[in-house]
């Protein structure tokens, strides 16, 4: 599936709940504002089958906190049983991870993204609202021991945790986990603290280049993310939703909110179509898959690069008028500066 800007749709983010046991200071709730009903586990098998039939190969479970759903492993199994997905992942704060590792592995989950915004107990408590650091660290260790691919999500906050980048990278190397270092962006609660805590990731990039030998640099096509491969093959991915003008041009995803609404963008909270009436209908499985596939195809036409944040103004949307032209030359341009594309 290709949208009007030549961008593939290959990822479906599944917001399976809005409930969360944390209260992070920058939470964006995946762009979903209102509390809502939650779809049953079997609904995700139908949705995933329809998306897979259209070429979606990657499914990410998110929230809220996915692990507050006791049937989260059933959701993973539904996706695994009804698709040919090469990647089924789950983003979690990790607090309940120890309780679910075995079930998630048995259900067929491929990898985990675990939020770890500080390695210092007091800072972690301040950022997340929960004194849970040591429990999360135990969960990460156990997940690695069980063979999961684990990536740490670390949101950089100026004057709060930016001094922890060296210790974070040391932790990643020691435990064999990859890292995403994320630029704070003005969405949800992040908008209220943006002027205080926002920092670009140039300092992180410079630190990596200066302190590690033989660093390999790649560009991930999704959101044009820089990846720095350091010691032991550990990947440090820089996610710049504000400081990267091509971030939205590299979007390859749709969202399904926890009520079955199709959403095209984190920055556009409007539901473009609802799958709920199909899921609740008396149609058989194949009919539901066909009808959901039709809606996904329809909504994919609405996908577009939403905006570029201008950090010097009031976060007003800036239209990207040269998107199509950029897409025509972006690959040769990246190759010409000697970066690999993955």
29-33, 73-77, 131-135, 144-148: range with lowest mean pLDDT? 29-33
DSSP letters, 31-53, are G--S------HHHHHHHHHHHHH
For residue range 132-150, list pLDDT tens digits in order.
999 999 999 999 999 999 9
Instruction: Decide: helix, strand or coil at residue 262.
Output: strand
Delineate the domains of the chain, giving CATH numbers in brackets. 11-341 (3.20.20.70)
The Cα–Cα gap between 170 and 213 comes to 14
Would you say the pTM of this structure is higher than 0.85? Answer: yes
For residue range 239-291, list pLDDT tens digits in order.
998 888 788 888 899 999 999 999 998 878 788 899 999 999 999 999 999 99
Let me know if 342 is exposed, middle or buried by CB neighbors in 10 A (0-12, 13-18, 19+). exposed
């Amino acid at each position: 599936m290709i949208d009007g800007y030549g961008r593939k749709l290959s990822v479906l983010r599944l917001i399976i709940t809005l409930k969360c046991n944390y209260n992070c200071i920058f939470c964006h709730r995946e762009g979903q504002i209102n509390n809502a009903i939650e779809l049953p586990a079997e609904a995700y098998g139908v949705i995933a089958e329809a998306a897979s039939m259209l070429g979606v190969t990657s499914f990410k479970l998110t929230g809220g906190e996915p692990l507050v759903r006791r049937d989260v492993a059933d959701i993973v199994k539904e996706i695994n049983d009804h698709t040919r997905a090469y990647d089924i992942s789950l983003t979690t704060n990790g607090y309940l991870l120890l309780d679910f590792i075995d079930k998630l592995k048995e259900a067929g989950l491929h990898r985990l993204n675990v939020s770890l915004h500080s390695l210092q107990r007091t800072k972690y408590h301040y950022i997340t609202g929960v004194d849970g650091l040591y429990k999360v660290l135990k969960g990460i260790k156990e997940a690695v021991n069980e063979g999961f691919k684990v990536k740490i999500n670390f949101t950089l906050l100026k004057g709060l945790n930016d001094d922890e980048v060296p210790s974070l990278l040391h932790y990643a190397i020691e435990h064999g986990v990859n890292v995403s270092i994320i630029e704070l962006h003005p969405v949800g609660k992040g908008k209220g603290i943006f002027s205080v805590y926002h920092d670009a990731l140039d300092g992180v990039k410079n630190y990596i280049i200066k302190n590690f030998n033989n660093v390999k640099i790649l560009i991930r096509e999704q959101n044009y993310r820089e990846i720095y491969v350091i010691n032991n093959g550990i990947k440090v991915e820089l996610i710049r939703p504000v400081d990267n003008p091509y971030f939205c041009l590299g979007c390859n995803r749709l969202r399904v909110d926890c009520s079955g609404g199709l959403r095209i963008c984190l920055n556009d909270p409007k539901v473009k179509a609802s799958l709920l009436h199909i899921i609740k209908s008396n149609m058989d499985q194949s009919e539901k898959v066909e009808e959901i596939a039709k809606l996904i195809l329809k909504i994919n036409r609405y996908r577009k690069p939403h905006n570029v944040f201008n950090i010097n103004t009031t976060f007003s949307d800036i239209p990207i008028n040269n998107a199509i032209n950029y897409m025509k030359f972006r690959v040769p341009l990246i190759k010409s500066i000697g970066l690999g594309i993955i």
